[in-house]
């Protein structure tokens, strides 16, 4: 009997080349899952225009369904277009920490439908969504081309490596092994640090307290 050929790994592109970015953008638009660099770790990305692609991320990572996936946008301005009812303090905080290794967790609402469309129920939790604006030119440029992306770290749950066999494309830049800082912005005008990462919690609080004091 004829032996089956081994599965071929996905192509790897150079993120410094415009052609590589355009190719990965097209694959994301078509519903593919791609590996991309960020300012902290490599990530698996899917376009929010293709909810089924987000499901593929869960399968690739063997990620438990109860663990939410965050969204990545290119800038605060991309968020402004959706007109979320954020407080002036939250807007000012985001403008001071984005782009960067901080993720803000905020309440969902109709504004998120405007931003991610059919991916609304497949990103975040039932009530909240984590928003990332990486300090990485490649990632932000992709979000400018494709719109918001659903992303998560490129490793199977509980492991440190991931096979390239299930990806459509992998954009190579350089390696980062940092952890993003996650925080929840509460309606009471306070923040809760969910996870401390490359940005120390004390620095996050200093930024927040400084901004809050200027808006009193």
Least confident residue range of 96-110, 135-149, 165-179: 165-179
Quick check: is 4 in a domain?
A: no
Exposed (0-12), middle (13-18) or buried (19+): which is 120, by Cβ within 10 Å?
middle
Residue 10's pLDDT is what? 61
Neighbouring-strand partners of residue 169: 34
d(CA 143, CA 141): 5
Residue 183's pLDDT is what? 73
Mean pLDDT confidence for 60-77:
92
**Packing angle of the helix pair 88-97, 201-214 (nearest 10 deg):** 130
What value does the CA radius of gyration of the chain take, rounded to a whole number of Å? Answer: 18
For 4-48, what is each residue's pLDDT tens digit? Answer: 444 445 666 666 778 888 888 998 999 999 888 888 878 899 999
Which CATH number covers residue 99?
3.90.870.10
**Pick from 58, 60, 69, 50: which is nearest to 116 by CA?**
50
Q: How far is C-alpha 167 from the geometric centre of its chain's CA atoms?
A: 17
**Number of compact structural domains in the chain:** 1
Judged against a pLDDT cut of 80, whether residue 137 lies above it is answered with yes
Quick check: is 5 in a domain?
A: no
Residue 171's pLDDT is what? 52
For 151-173, what is each residue's pLDDT tens digit? Answer: 998 775 555 444 444 455 455 44
Token pair of 4 as six digits? 């089956």
Tell me the average pLDDT of the chain.
83
What is the reported pTM? 0.82
Domain that holds residue 34: 12-214
Q: Is the peptide bond before 199 cis (omega within 30 degrees of 0)?
A: no
């Amino acid at each position: 009997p004829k032996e089956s050929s081994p599965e071929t790994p996905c192509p790897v592109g150079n993120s410094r080349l415009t052609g590589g970015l355009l190719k990965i953008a097209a694959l994301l638009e078509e519903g593919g899952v791609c590996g991309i660099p960020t300012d902290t770790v490599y990530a698996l990305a899917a376009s929010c225009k293709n909810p089924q692609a987000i499901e593929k991320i869960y399968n690739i990572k063997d990620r438990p369904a109860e663990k939410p996936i965050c969204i990545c946008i290119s800038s605060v301005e991309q968020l402004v277009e959706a007109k979320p009812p954020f407080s002036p303090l939250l807007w000012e905080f985001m403008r001071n920490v984005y782009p960067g290794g901080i993720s803000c967790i905020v309440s969902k609402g109709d504004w998120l439908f405007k931003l991610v469309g059919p991916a609304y129920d497949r990103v975040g939790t039932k009530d909240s969504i984590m928003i990332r604006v990486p300090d990485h030119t490649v990632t932000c440029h992709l979000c400018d081309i494709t719109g918001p992306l659903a992303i998560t770290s490129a490793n199977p749950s509980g492991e440190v490596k991931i096979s390239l066999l299930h990806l459509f494309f992998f954009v190579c830049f350089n390696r980062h092994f940092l952890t993003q800082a996650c925080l929840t912005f509460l309606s009471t005008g306070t923040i809760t640090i969910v996870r401390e990462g490359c940005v120390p919690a004390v620095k996050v609080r200093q930024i927040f307290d400084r901004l809050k004091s200027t808006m009193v």
